[in-house]
Structure 1
Amino acid sequence: MRRLTSAPRDGWEKIIESQGLAYHRSAHPVDLTRPYWDESTHYVFTMQEILDLESQVEELHGMCLEAVEHVVAHGRYRDFAIPQWVAPGVEASWRRRDPHVYGRFDLRYDGTGPAKLLEYNADTPTSLVESSLIQWFWLKDVHPDDDQWNSLHERLVDRWKELPLQSGPAHFAWTNMDETGEEVMTLGYLQETADQAGLDTVAIAMEDIGWDPGRMRFADLEQRVIRTLCKLYPWEWAVADPFGPQAVGQQISMTWIEPLWKMVLSNKALLALLWEMYPGHPNLLPAYLDGPRDLPAHIEKPLLGREGASMRVVTPEGTRRTEGDYGAEGYVYQEFRALPDFDGWRPVLGAWVVGDEAAGLGIRETSGLITDDSSSFVPHRIIP
C-alpha cells in the first residue's frame, strides 16, 4: 500500500460532474482549499493485499450477521437503544431474512497487518457514486492497464435481479432535507442499477409518501401502493416519525432496502458486541459499552452518530472532541489507534459489501484524527 501523487486531468471538475458527482462542491465545507474529489493523489495496492482485504471483509460481514442473531436470540435491544416496541419487528424481519443489498465497512489499514474495523455503515451508506463510478472512469483515463477493487456496479445490478420483489414499481426515496444533492444522486445511481436489472422504478421524496388508511398501505403521489422502498433515511429516524408504527408494521407486506434488522448493524454498539463475541479477533479493536475500562487510549463514539460528530478521543497526551448533537442514545468506548500517516494524510478504507460478498473499495483522507465531512475522496489502483 503506497500513496502516490500525480497531475489531475485537465477539466476534471466537468468530467466528474458529467459522470454523476454533481455534489462534490456542495457536500464539502466551503472554507477548505482541498477539493472533495482529489485525484492529485491516489493509493496503490498489490493484488495480494486486495485479496487479503476481501477475505477479511467477508469474514467481518459473516460475524456481523452472527451478531444480529445474538441480539435477536438474547433480546439485547436495550444495548442498541432500539425502542422496545420496535424489537418484535426487528426480530420478525431477521427471522424472515428480509433481503439486504449493500453496506460499507470503515477500516483502519496500513498495508502491514490485518485491517481493523472502525464501524459498519449498514443502513444508509454513502460515497457509493465515487466508489463505483468516478474512480473507475479515472482509472480507465489515467491508468488503463491497471486494475481496481471495484465490482460494485455489476454486483448491484445482479443483486437487484436476485431479490424476491413483489409486483409493481420499486420506489427510490430521498428526503427534502438533503441540501447537498448527495442523497439524491446516490439514490439516483441505485435506481439506475435497478433499471439495468430490469426493474420498473420510481423516484420519490420521503415527504411525498402518504399513508392510505383505507388500504392500510403506503402510497405514492399517484396513489400506487408502495411495495418496494429503497431509502437513505435511517431507521432510527423512521421509527421516531409519526408514521413509525406503520413503517414497522409494514415490514411483512413491503420490501425495505435496507431491512429493519439492519438497525442492529448500523449501530456502533455492534463494535462492543463483536468484541464480546470474538475477543482478540485480529480485525477488531477492543470496545465496551460500560466505559473505557483499562484502555490506555480510547475514542467515545455515539451509538447513532454520523460524519464523525460528537466524538471524543482520550489519549495520555490529551483529549480532543468534535462538535455535534449525538450521544443521548449512549456511547461505545473503542480502543483508539490513530489512522496511519501517509505524507501527513490519514486514510480510512471504505470496503463495500453487496449481498454477502466483498465488492469494492473507496478511500477517504483527512489530516486529523477523525474522519468527518471535511475529508476528501481519493481513488486507488492495483498493480501487478
Structure 2
Amino acid sequence: MSNDRTFSTWLDDVEHRRRAAGLRRELRPRTAGSALIDLASNDYLGLVRHPEVLHGAMTALRRWGAGATGSRLVTGSTTEHQLLESELAEFVGAEAGLVFSSGYTANLGAVTALSGAGSLIVSDAGSHASLVDACRLSRARVVVAPHSDIEFLRAALATRSEERALVVTDSVFSADGDLAPLVAMHQVCRDTGAVLVVDEAHGVGVRGEGGRGLVHEVGLAGEPDIVITATLSKSLASQGGAVLASEKVRAHLIDAARTFIFDTGLAPAAVGAARAALSVLTREPHRAAAVLDRARDLARFTGAATPESAVVSVILGDPQRAVDAAAACRELGVHVGCFRPPSVPEGTSRLRLTARATLDEEELALIETVLTSVVAGASA
C-alpha cells in the first residue's frame, strides 16, 4: 500500500469516527444582510457595524493601506498601534500594552516568553485552547489544576522546585461563562512568588466598571505580578490581541515573544476599528451593563443558571442533540452556538448563547419563543 493511500485511508477513518460521534464540523459562510438574530457571535457590545467603528477602520485603511507590510519590529508598527496600546492600558489600569495579531498569538507570546525551561506553569483546567497550546510550547513543567481549585494551586506552587512560576487562567471562562476566583488566585501567587496571567478575552467590555474587565473589578488592576491578555475581536468588534502589563513585561515581550517578533503586525484597519470601539465604550459605559441584562434574559428563557458574563450555556449532553437543537433554532430565525468535544468535556455538549447589548424588545420576543420551544424539545 502506498504512503498516499495510507494517508488517505487514515483521513477517511478519522472522518467516519467523527461523523459517527456527532463531532463533524462544517463551515457555514454568513451572507450579508442575513435575517437571523445572532446569539452566536462575540460582538457583545453590538459595535461591529457601529458607524464610528467603521469610520475608524476606513480612516486607518486610507492612511496606512490594507496591510501592516511587515513584522512590528521591521515596518509593521504604526503610530496607530502605539495609540491603541496606550489607550487599552489606560482603560484596564495597566502600565503598558503590546498589540499582537490575534488574542491567540498574544497568549502564545506572553506565556512562552515569560516561562521556559526550568520554570513551572499551573494552568486552570478550564483555560482556553490558546493558553493550553502556550503551555505545551513553553518547555516549562506544566501542571493542570482542577477548575478554580485554590488549595490545589497553593500546593502545586508551594512544593515546586522551580524558581519561576506562572499561573494561567481565563477571567471569564469561554464555555460556561463563570468567573475565575482572581483575588484568591492572586493571593496565592503573591504568597509563593508566582506571576498570574489572566486572559480577559470575555471580561473586557462586560465585567468591571464600564467594561474594564474582571481584574479591574476585583481591585487588582496595575499589580506588578499580574499580566493581562485580551482580544480585540469580541467586545471591541475588530481583530487582534494585546498584552497589558508593566513596562518591564512589555520590553521583555518585544525581545522574546516569538509570535510578536516573527508575525506580521496587525492590519491598520483592525487597529483603527478597535480604537474607535474602545472610544465608544468609554463614552457609553452602560453598554457593559446591558450585556449582562440581556444575558439574564437568555438564561430566563432557557432555564439556565443566572449568568455572570455574556455567555449562557444550555447543556444538552449528547453532541447530536446539540447539533439538532442548533439547527432547529436556525430554522426558526435564531443563530446559536453549538459546542461539542473537544471544546467542552465529554457529555456536556451544549447550546452556547452569547448576549448582545443591542438586542431590542422585538428580537427578545422572538428569541424567547424559539428558545423556549427548542430547549423544551431537546430536553424531552
User: TM-score range with shorter-chain normalisation?
Assistant: 0.3 to 0.5
TM-score between both structures, scaled by the size of structure 2:
0.35
In terms of fraction of residues, the more strand-rich structure is 1
In terms of fraction of residues, the more helix-rich structure is 2
